[in-house]
């Protein structure tokens, strides 16, 4: 059954959604898109074909699978269960997949709303950034039933290199929270290491060349050290998005009685970066914060 999906809707053509939807069109699927700013949807159709629609509901009508990638919980509610939302256009037996990084509560809420009207639901946040979306190499962490996952997985594989079912609805979002918790402390550690090397008068590039081969190596070190040394942050994953994600992690941790002292501290450091005007800078800009404080 899963291989039979031929008509999909994609809602939210941002940095991530635009190239993800593009992979589906290139794979030969009939893609119906919606974007709040209509000009982006028009540009997408000019580039990839398919069709654009004035509301999520109209985009979702006739689609076997509806994919969403917008900003936060409330944005997802607006385009799914809100007025003119996708759910009101979805037929019984169709399936909703949410790629937005959002709360596990929202996933459970959407799962219940979908079940009520006889549609399936998968929460499916992604990791891999803009580069991963453009190269079709995202890691996709899914929550939902095995049947729904089996239907969605072949479609998600067009832009996902690792597509994994983690458990019931909400499990994908919980796994993404672990991902962000692991990254937060690591990026601060990398920023402190490069800051220390600079203050010590070491050649930072040579330091990275040596230590990246050993136990200190990481994706962040490999992919971000050059721009960090050059103090360039106009790219990558925005601090504003990271604060949204860490807020979700900290709220979930409070309810789970999990202790996240370093994550909470790094969240405050990102608050400082926002005050510095860096809301849209890459998360590696924690180094600019240290350089700025160090210069005082
Ligand atoms: N960028 C990354 O590296 C990355 C990596 C992993 C996960 N994520 C997550 O993926 C999601 C999307 O990120 P992105 O970087 O693609 O964001 P983005 O470039 O800011 O795009 C957001 C998209 O959502 C739409 N949108 C936002 N609020 C909406 C609303 N209330 N109603 C309708 N449409 C709305 C925007 O429409 P307009 O065009 O009209 O603004 C745009 O299409 C976020 O949850 C983010 O945390 C991002």
Tens digits of residue pLDDT in 219-252 = 999 999 999 999 999 998 999 999 999 999 999 9
Coil/strand/helix, residue 27: coil
Query: Ligand 1 pocket: which of 241, 245, 279, 281 to mutate (most atoms <8 Å of CB)?
Result: 241
Average pLDDT along the chain:
96
Task: Record the tokens describing residue 245, joined without a space.
Answer: 């994600």
Q: What are phi and psi of 216, to 5 degrees?
A: -85, -10
How far, in Å, from the CA of 16 to the mean position of ligand 1? 7
Give me the catalytic one of 40, 176, 226, 244.
Answer: 176
> Residue 296: what pLDDT?
59
Atom 21, ligand 1: residue with shortest CA distance: 14
Question: What value does the mean pLDDT take over residues 272-285?
Answer: 98
Instruction: Answer whether 17 contacts ligand 1 (Cβ < 6 A).
Output: yes
Instruction: Answer whether 248 contacts ligand 1 (Cβ < 6 A).
Output: no
Residue 285 — very low, low, confident or very high, per pLDDT cuts 50/70/90? very high
Distance CA 22, CA 54 (A): 19
The DSSP code for 39 is: H
Instruction: Answer whether 132 contacts ligand 1 (Cβ < 6 A).
Output: no
Query: What are the distances in angstroms from CA 185 to CA 95, 167, 276?
Result: 36, 26, 20
Q: Is 226 a catalytic residue?
A: no
Question: What value does the mean pLDDT take over residues 86-99?
Answer: 98
Question: What value does the mean pLDDT take over residues 44-69?
Answer: 98
Question: What value does the mean pLDDT take over residues 289-295?
Answer: 88
Query: Ligand 1 pocket: which of 9, 10, 14 to mutate (most atoms <8 Å of CB)?
Result: 14
* Burial zone of 76 (CB within 10 Å; 0-12 exposed, 13-18 middle, 19+ buried): buried
Q: Where are the alpha helices (DSSP H) in 157-218?
A: 171-199, 204-211
Instruction: Confirm if 40 and 13 have CB atoms less than 8 A apart.
Output: yes
Instruction: Answer whether 136 contacts ligand 1 (Cβ < 6 A).
Output: no
Provide the Cα torsion 115, 120, 121, 127; round to 10°.
170
Task: Record the tokens describing residue 205, joined without a space.
Answer: 């590039």
Could you tell me how far CA 162 lies from the centroid of its own chain?
14
Instruction: Answer whether 205 contacts ligand 1 (Cβ < 6 A).
Output: no
* Burial zone of 206 (CB within 10 Å; 0-12 exposed, 13-18 middle, 19+ buried): exposed
- Residue 153: how many CB atoms within 10 A of its CB? 18
Question: What value does the mean pLDDT take over residues 150-155?
Answer: 98
Atom of ligand 1 nearest to the CA of 36: 40
Question: What value does the mean pLDDT take over residues 6-26?
Answer: 97
Atom of ligand 1 nearest to the CA of 101: 45
């Amino acid at each position: 059954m899963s291989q039979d999906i031929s008509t999909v809707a994609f809602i939210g053509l941002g940095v991530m959604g635009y190239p993800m939807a593009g992979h589906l069109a290139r794979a030969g699927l009939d893609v119906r898109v919606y974007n709040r700013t209509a000009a982006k949807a028009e540009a997408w159709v000019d580039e990839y074909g398919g069709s654009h629609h004035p509301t999520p509901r109209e985009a979702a009508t006739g689609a076997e699978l509806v994919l969403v990638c917008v900003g936060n919980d409330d944005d997802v509610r607006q385009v799914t269960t809100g007025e003119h939302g996708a759910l009101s256009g979805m037929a019984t037996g169709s399936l909703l997949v949410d790629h937005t990084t959002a709360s596990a509560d929202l996933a459970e809420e959407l799962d219940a709303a979908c079940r009520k009207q006889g549609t399936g639901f998968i929460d499916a946040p992604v990791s891999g950034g803009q580069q991963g979306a453009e190269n079709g190499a995202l890691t996709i962490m899914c929550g939902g039933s095995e049947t729904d996952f089996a239907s969605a997985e072949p479609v998600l594989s067009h832009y996902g290199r690792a597509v994994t079912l983690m458990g019931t609805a909400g499990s994908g979002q919980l796994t993404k929270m672990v991902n962000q918790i692991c990254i937060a402390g690591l990026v601060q550690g990398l920023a402190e290491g490069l800051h220390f090397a600079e203050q010590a008068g070491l050649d930072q590039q040579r330091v990275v060349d040596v230590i990246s081969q050993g136990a200190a190596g990481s994706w962040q070190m490999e992919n971000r050290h050059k721009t960090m040394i050059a103090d360039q942050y106009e790219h990558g994953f925005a601090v504003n998005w990271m604060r949204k994600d860490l807020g979700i992690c900290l709220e979930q941790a409070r309810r789970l009685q999990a202790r996240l002292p370093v994550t909470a501290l790094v969240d405050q450091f990102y608050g400082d970066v926002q005050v510095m005007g860096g809301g849209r800078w890459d998360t590696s800009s924690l180094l600019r914060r240290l350089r700025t404080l160090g210069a005082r």
